[in-house]
């Protein structure tokens, strides 16, 4: 029941942030200038649509195209994308499905070809969301399929491709059957520590046949909060001494096309005092869906919950009897951040260094407790233990002469043995940091040449909970140096 959430160690997180992107923390503009033209990747959704959507065929379903350069969103020097344009060719969907264009797009010669002006993306990542629905006509029958061919271009970058790679495309298929979708709670909900919060979960059948036998799943991915209850028909997952998940089955329930239902008594989340924010996974499916699996845990023995119709909806008579298999599970599961108001967060402190070629001067970097809770958990950072860690990667234009006593040079990974990168260090501080407090590390560095636009990368980290999840944040130490 539920899903497994990976726990990152500091070394794993550093490897992800520094090396997997192909752009190390301290590469700087001087190194980037010699690199090849930036490349970006394109990913497109697929969609299975009922031949009659939402019971009456009027609603469009979202499909997305995403595009990004390496390191976009978390690398210090991720390349931007300039003057991004997207062209769409949905000619293979003629008579099968219709498309709805977002702002910035316009049809060209007909209703199946379009052009979109996305514009500049300084962060190197963007997306475009279209709407699709089954068309009215003889071709829009179960089993019909086609695609929207996508071409993304940028003025300053090229798409990364490989030999034999098919064209970027959104696959669209039509089917008859139920399609249960659970309404998103949004990217985050407030679940104050020390209180119980109601979960307003609602489920709609967006398909064109009855959905028979409903399964509802809720799980705290980080096992921090409690999901109280003892309802018959539900199985409760116990982890670390508390109920962290629940799976409720309604074998005789039937949800008609267009109908929205909710629990007769809503599920709740209990956040003990001092509990950090977490992530809630929640979903819905049918008893015949293979992805759900069998529930594990303690069966409830109390009063059974029921699914009741939300009054504002008007169920539509189904066109056929259900085969009891959900035709589209992409809208059946969501993740939502739980904000308890107790947050462990760190901010890397960079700044600027102005030096002289050949002379040693101090360069100071640090980490600040930017959360709402005191950082006090001691863990291993490189060769030292502490409550907070700092990873610093200098460029090759800098020679490090003196190193703080709680910092260890990295013998593998970014900066080590790479001719274009300088030394890297992992530091730790034993200080207990209240919110707003900072720690600093000063390195004696010697510029080896005139510098105007290089930088050192700074990564701060701290343990967010006893399960060794980490808060991470990046900053730059901008470097400049003049002749002696």
In this predicted structure, the answer to whether residue 30 has a pLDDT above a threshold of 50 is no
DSSP-assigned states of every residue in 217-236? EEEETTS-SB----BTTEEE
Identify whether 11 is part of a domain.
Answer: no
Q: Is 452 left (phi over 0), alpha (psi -120 to 50) or beta?
A: alpha
Cβ–Cβ under 8 Å, residues 228 and 196? yes
In this predicted structure, the answer to whether residue 280 has a pLDDT above a threshold of 70 is yes
Residues 312 and 431 in one domain: no
For residue 330, the 8-state DSSP code is T
Cβ–Cβ under 8 Å, residues 184 and 238? no
In this predicted structure, the answer to whether residue 307 has a pLDDT above a threshold of 50 is yes
Cα–Cα distance for residue pair 23/28, rounded to 1 Å: 9
Q: Report residue 406 CA to chain centroid gap.
A: 34
- The pLDDT tens digits of the residues spanning 123-172 come to 899 999 999 999 988 888 999 999 999 999 999 999 999 899 899 999 99
Cα–Cα distance for residue pair 95/135, rounded to 1 Å: 6
For residue 418, name the pLDDT band (cuts at 50, 70, 90): very low
What is the pLDDT, as a whole number, of residue 244? 95
Tokens at residue 227, please? 């999901």
Cα–Cα distance for residue pair 484/480, rounded to 1 Å: 13
Identify whether 331 is part of a domain.
Answer: yes
Cα–Cα distance for residue pair 190/197, rounded to 1 Å: 8
Cα–Cα distance for residue pair 246/283, rounded to 1 Å: 11
Instruction: List the end-to-end C-alpha distance of the chain, in Å, as a whole number.
Output: 66
* Tokens 């009891």 sit on residue: 324
Looking at per-residue confidence, does 165 or 324 come out higher?
165
Residues 372 and 444 in one domain: yes
C-alpha separations of 232 from 236, 246, 299, 333 in Å = 10, 11, 7, 23
For residue 53, name the pLDDT band (cuts at 50, 70, 90): low
Instruction: List, in order, residues 6 or more apart from 483 with CB less than 8 Å away.
Output: 356, 357, 450
How many CB atoms are closer than 10 A to CB 438?
17
Residues 334 and 187 in one domain: yes
Residues 445 and 391 in one domain: yes
- The pLDDT tens digits of the residues spanning 354-395 come to 999 999 999 999 999 999 999 998 988 877 899 999 999 999
Which of 56-70, 87-101, 174-188, 389-403 has the least mean pLDDT?
56-70
Residues 314 and 358 in one domain: no
Residues 156 and 225 in one domain: no
What is the pLDDT, as a whole number, of residue 316? 53
For residue 33, name the pLDDT band (cuts at 50, 70, 90): very low
In this predicted structure, the answer to whether residue 27 has a pLDDT above a threshold of 90 is no
What is the pLDDT, as a whole number, of residue 26? 40
Instruction: List, in order, residues 6 or more apart from 193 with CB less than 8 Å away.
Output: 271, 272, 273, 274, 275, 340, 341, 342
Cα–Cα distance for residue pair 77/123, rounded to 1 Å: 9
Pick the closest to residue 176 from 81, 348, 51, 45 (CA basis): 51
Last residue of a domain, one of 152, 175, 198: 175
Residues 381 and 294 in one domain: no
DSSP element (H, E) containing 171: strand 169-175
User: Domain range for residue 135?
Assistant: 38-175
Which of 66-80, 205-219, 268-282 has the least mean pLDDT?
66-80
Q: What phi, psi does 30 have (nearest 5°)?
A: -65, -40
Return the CA Rg of the chain: 27
Cβ–Cβ under 8 Å, residues 248 and 358? no
Average pLDDT for residues 327-345, to the nearest whole number? 89
Mean pLDDT of the chain: 85
What is the pLDDT, as a whole number, of residue 407? 93
What is the pLDDT, as a whole number, of residue 426? 93
For residue 471, name the pLDDT band (cuts at 50, 70, 90): confident
Average pLDDT for residues 321-344, to the nearest whole number? 83
Dihedral (CA of 190, 193, 194, 196) sign: positive
Residues 328 and 370 in one domain: no
Identify whether 2 is part of a domain.
Answer: no
Looking at per-residue confidence, does 191 or 321 come out higher?
191
Domain count of the fold of the chain: 3
Identify whether 9 is part of a domain.
Answer: no
Last residue of a domain, one of 129, 144, 175: 175
pTM greater than 0.75: yes
Cβ–Cβ under 8 Å, residues 210 and 256? yes
What is the pLDDT, as a whole number, of residue 411? 63
Identify whether 12 is part of a domain.
Answer: no
Identify whether 294 is part of a domain.
Answer: yes
Which of 108-112, 327-331, 466-470 has the least mean pLDDT?
466-470
Identify whether 33 is part of a domain.
Answer: no
Dihedral (CA of 469, 15, 392, 23) sign: negative
Residues 212 and 335 in one domain: yes
Q: Are strands 351-356 and 470-482 parallel, antiparallel or unpaired?
A: parallel
Which of 85-94, 378-387, 434-443 has the least mean pLDDT?
378-387
In this predicted structure, the answer to whether residue 32 has a pLDDT above a threshold of 50 is no
Cα–Cα distance for residue pair 168/21, rounded to 1 Å: 22
What is the pLDDT, as a whole number, of residue 12? 46
What is the pLDDT, as a whole number, of residue 466? 63
Last residue of a domain, one of 147, 175, 203: 175
How many CB atoms are closer than 10 A to CB 481?
24
Cα–Cα distance for residue pair 407/364, rounded to 1 Å: 13
How many CB atoms are closer than 10 A to CB 450?
12
DSSP element (H, E) containing 19: none
Most confident among 18-22, 254-258, 302-306 (mean pLDDT) = 302-306
Residues 111 and 189 in one domain: no
Residues 322 and 238 in one domain: yes
Tokens at residue 206, please? 């967006």
What is the pLDDT, as a whole number, of residue 326? 82
- CATH number where 442 lies: 2.60.40
pLDDT above 90 as % of the chain:
64
Average pLDDT for residues 217-246, to the nearest whole number? 94
In this predicted structure, the answer to whether residue 14 has a pLDDT above a threshold of 60 is no
What is the pLDDT, as a whole number, of residue 5? 34
For residue 416, name the pLDDT band (cuts at 50, 70, 90): very low
Identify whether 7 is part of a domain.
Answer: no
Cα–Cα distance for residue pair 335/221, rounded to 1 Å: 9
Residues 56 and 160 in one domain: yes
3-state secondary structure of 43: strand
Looking at per-residue confidence, does 130 or 288 come out higher?
130
- CATH number where 168 lies: 2.60.40.10
Which of 54-63, 360-369, 391-400, 433-442 has the least mean pLDDT?
54-63
């Amino acid at each position: 029941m539920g899903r497994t959430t990976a726990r990152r160690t500091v070394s794993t997180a550093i490897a992800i942030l520094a090396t997997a992107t192909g752009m190390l923390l301290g590469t700087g503009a001087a190194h980037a200038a010699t690199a090849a033209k930036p490349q970006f990747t394109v990913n497109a959704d697929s969609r299975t649509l009922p031949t009659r959507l939402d019971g009456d065929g009027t609603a469009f379903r979202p499909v997305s195209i995403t595009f990004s350069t390496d390191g976009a969103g978390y690398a210090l020097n991720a390349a931007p994308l300039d003057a991004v344009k997207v062209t769409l060719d949905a000619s293979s969907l003629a008579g099968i499905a219709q498309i709805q264009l977002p702002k910035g797009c316009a049809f060209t010669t007909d209703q199946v070809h379009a052009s979109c002006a996305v514009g500049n993306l300084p962060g190197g990542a963007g997306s475009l969301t279209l709407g699709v629905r089954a068309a009215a006509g003889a071709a829009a029958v179960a089993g019909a399929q086609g695609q929207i061919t996508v071409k993304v271009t940028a003025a300053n970058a090229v798409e990364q491709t490989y030999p034999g790679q098919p064209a970027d495309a959104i696959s669209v298929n039509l089917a008859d059957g139920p399609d249960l979708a659970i309404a998103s709670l949004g990217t985050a909900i407030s679940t104050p520590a020390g209180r119980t919060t109601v979960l307003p979960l609602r489920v709609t059948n967006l398909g064109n046949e009855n959905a028979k036998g409903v399964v509802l799943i809720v799980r705290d991915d980080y096992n921090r909060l409690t999901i109280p209850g003892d309802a018959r028909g539900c199985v409760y997952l116990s982890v670390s001494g508390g109920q962290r998940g629940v799976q409720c089955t309604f074998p005789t329930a039937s949800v008609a096309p267009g109908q929205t239902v909710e629990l007769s008594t809503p599920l709740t989340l209990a956040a003990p005092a001092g509990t950090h924010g977490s992530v809630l996974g929640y979903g819905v499916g049918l008893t015949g869906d293979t992805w759900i699996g069998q529930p594990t845990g303690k069966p409830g023995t109390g009063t059974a919950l029921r699914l009741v119709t939300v009054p504002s909806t008007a169920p539509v008579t189904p066109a056929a009897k259900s085969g009891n298999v959900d035709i589209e599970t992409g809208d059946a599961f969501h993740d939502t951040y739980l904000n308890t108001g107790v947050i462990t967060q760190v901010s890397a402190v960079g700044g600027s260094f102005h030096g002289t070629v050949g002379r040693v001067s101090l360069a100071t970097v640090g980490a600040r407790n930017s959360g709402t809770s005191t950082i006090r958990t001691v863990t291993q950072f490189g060769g030292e233990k502490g409550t907070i860690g700092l990873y610093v990667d200098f460029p090759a234009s800098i020679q490090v002469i003196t190193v703080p006593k709680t910092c260890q040079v990295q013998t593998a990974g970014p900066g080590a043995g790479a001719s274009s990168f300088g030394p890297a260090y992992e530091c730790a501080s034993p200080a207990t940091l209240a919110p707003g407090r900072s720690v600093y590390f000063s390195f004696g560095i010697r510029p080896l040449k005139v510098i105007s636009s290089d930088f050192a990368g700074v990564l701060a980290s701290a343990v967010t909970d006893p399960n060794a999840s980490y808060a991470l944040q990046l900053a730059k130490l901008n470097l400049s140096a003049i002749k002696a």
